[in-house]
Amino acid sequence: MIELDRVSHRLGERPVLRDITLTLVERRVGIIGANGSGKSTLARTLNGLVSPDEGEVRAGGLDPRRQQREVRRAVGFMFTDASAQILMPTVAEDVALSLRDLPISAQEKETRLHETLDFFGLADHADQPAQLLSSGQKQLLAFAGVLVRRPEMLVCDEPSTLLDLANVLRLQRTLAELPQQVVLLTHHLELLDDFDRVVVLDEGRVVADDAPAPAVAEYRRLMGVRA
């Protein structure tokens, strides 16, 4: 569960989040809005990268400001800039790093590592330099590094930006099958078709909060796009 209670935030003079109150309990929650509407800033409040000027945030009952380590253990975060999430020289080492501090056996780690590399189509690249992957493959690697830990919930900020059609479909299938709660910030509206709830942000405010079809219709209306 994710809770925001009267969250407001400014960057310099500019209000970026304005009095946002949301309790997200649904399994699949989408957050959409124009460029600059505050989506990424909202996601960053969930892992403590942004401390809101006002209001309270809870992710899985944890306060990201005071319990940053616990939050990052419980919540898998994926950001648009996958390169920044790659920390090790090779693809396999990078995924293995995500497993390092988990309280599971070495054998279980090995099994999970190989299953995950296979699942994301990265097994053939296991020993290659991670930074030499294509941009889309780096996004898959970042996703692999997050999912291999089997977090309690996932917050994904535009994970599909650089993916080709096959990998967007793979992502869509993966999101549909995951047992965890997923909060997805995206401009790929078709990814949200089967979601339980979609929140629309506009200039830092929640302007719609509904099932996917009416929420997307409101977003199109805001953007001046006919259905």
Ligand X SMILES: Nc1ncnc2c1ncn2[C@@H]1O[C@H](COP(=O)(O)OP(=O)(O)OP(=O)(O)O)[C@@H](O)[C@H]1O
The residues of the shown chain that bind ligand X, judged by CB under 6 A, are: 11-12, 16, 33, 35-41
Residue 12 beta carbon to ligand X: minimum distance, rounded to whole angstroms: 6
The residue (of 41 and 137) whose beta carbon lies closer to ligand X is 41
Cα 143 to Cα 6, 152, 213, 223, distances in angstroms: 31, 15, 27, 30
Residue 72 beta carbon to ligand X: minimum distance, rounded to whole angstroms: 20
Residue 36 beta carbon to ligand X: minimum distance, rounded to whole angstroms: 4
Identify the three-state secondary structure at position 103.
coil
The residue (of 17 and 130) whose beta carbon lies closer to ligand X is 17
What is the Cα–Cα distance from 205 to 193, expressed in whole angstroms? 23
Residue 91 beta carbon to ligand X: minimum distance, rounded to whole angstroms: 27
The residue (of 118 and 190) whose beta carbon lies closer to ligand X is 190
What is the Cα–Cα distance from 78 to 116, expressed in whole angstroms? 16
For 175-214, letters b (16+ CB in 10 Å) and e give beebeebbbbbbebeebbeebbbbbbbbbbebbbbeebee
Residue 139 beta carbon to ligand X: minimum distance, rounded to whole angstroms: 15
The residue (of 59 and 96) whose beta carbon lies closer to ligand X is 59
* Tokens encoding 189: 């509206």
Pairing of strands 75-78, 14-24: unpaired
What is the Cα–Cα distance from 177 to 59, expressed in whole angstroms? 21
The residue (of 95 and 185) whose beta carbon lies closer to ligand X is 185
